[in-house]
Amino acid sequence: MGKALEYDVSLMERLYTADPHPGTVKTMLNVQYRFPKELAQFPSTEFYNGELQSHIQDSDEVLGVLLSTAFPWPCRAGLTGIIPTVFVQCDTEETMGSSSKGNEGQAELAARIVSMLQSPAREAEDKPKLSIAALSPYTRQVAMLKEGLPSSVTCATIDSFQGRESDIVVFCTVRCNASREIGFVEDHRRLNVMWTRARLGLIIIGNKATMTETNALWKRAIGSCTEVKLPPLPEPAT
């Protein structure tokens, strides 16, 4: 009922989307200083009529720090043209708690990704000093992330992280089910907030079939990312 009556629409959104009062002019602040154009491209196209611009001029210089980590960031050509928006597939099904959902497989994958982000690309290099935030729409998943990740990583729901930022955002979509239902994760505003929290890199963990088969927006979102397959885990010592 609340959604039908638009109780979830903020006063600012109502003012901006309503027909302007005679004599008033609506102006969007279309230059952002947080992230380079590679991260701005998707939200600009989907949420800001293609008008969102980045103040950052040299993307390669800014994004080059990502290559200091052990995570396999994709590049367009050689070691230039770093792609900062990636998708990592996870086939583990979601689980239902008393009042929220979680996904143990995605939590474990997030822990492995964070370990790679906090490790240097080569043994002789210093440990990367990047802030990392692990986000999810579900409080139960956030609890799982807090249990499995170092205390240096900020774990939060999308809603509670609004207005904040981090060098790298690792996002757990959670949803993975045979009926391809994604629930309130389909909210375009949460997708916008999640995407625009990162200063350097965004890593989305999820199940592509669940997230894209019934939702066109998420299909475009994941389609705008480059899929990364992590190297196999080493065989246990015998």
pLDDT of residue 2: 45
pLDDT of residue 12: 47
pLDDT of residue 49: 84
pLDDT of residue 178: 95
B/e letters for 146-176, b = 16+ CB within 10 Å, e = fewer, are eebbeeebbbbbbeebeeeebbbbbbbbbbb
Q: Which of 220, 195, 60, 86 is nearest to 133 (CA)?
A: 195
Rounded distance, CA 121 to CA 98, Å?
41
Q: Which of 209, 129, 140, 131 is nearest to 170 (CA)?
A: 131
Which helix (H) or strand (E) is 11 found in, with range? helix 11-17
Half-sphere exposure of 50 (CA within 13 A, CB side): 0
Q: In this structure, what DSSP letter does residue 93 have? A: P
Residue identified by tokens 């690309």 is: 121
Which CATH architecture is the domain 57-227 placed in?
3-Layer(aba) Sandwich (3.40)
Q: Which amino acid is at 165?
A: E
Q: Which amino acid is at 23?
A: G
- Domain ranges for the chain, please list them: 57-227
- Using DSSP's 3-state secondary structure scheme, residue 125 falls into coil
pLDDT of residue 48: 84
Token pair listed for 17: 């989307």
* Backbone φ, ψ for residue 207 (5° rounding): -105, 115
Token pair listed for 159: 């809603």
Rounded distance, CA 24 to CA 6, Å?
24
Rounded distance, CA 162 to CA 158, Å?
6
Q: CA geometry: angle at 162 spanning 197 and 103, to 5°?
A: 80
Rounded distance, CA 106 to CA 95, Å?
11
Strands 53-54 and 31-32: parallel
Region of residue 211 (phi > 0: left; psi between -120 and 50: alpha; otherwise: beta): alpha
Q: Which amino acid is at 203?
A: I
Residues 6+ apart with CB under 8 A from 161: 133, 135, 154, 193, 197
pLDDT of residue 36: 86
Token pair listed for 170: 């690792």
Tens of pLDDT along the chain (238 residues)? 445 445 454 554 554 455 666 666 656 566 676 788 888 899 989 998 877 777 777 778 889 899 999 999 999 875 568 999 999 999 999 998 768 999 999 999 999 999 999 999 988 688 899 999 999 999 999 999 999 999 999 999 999 999 999 999 999 999 999 999 999 999 999 999 999 999 999 999 999 999 999 999 999 999 999 999 998 877 666 6
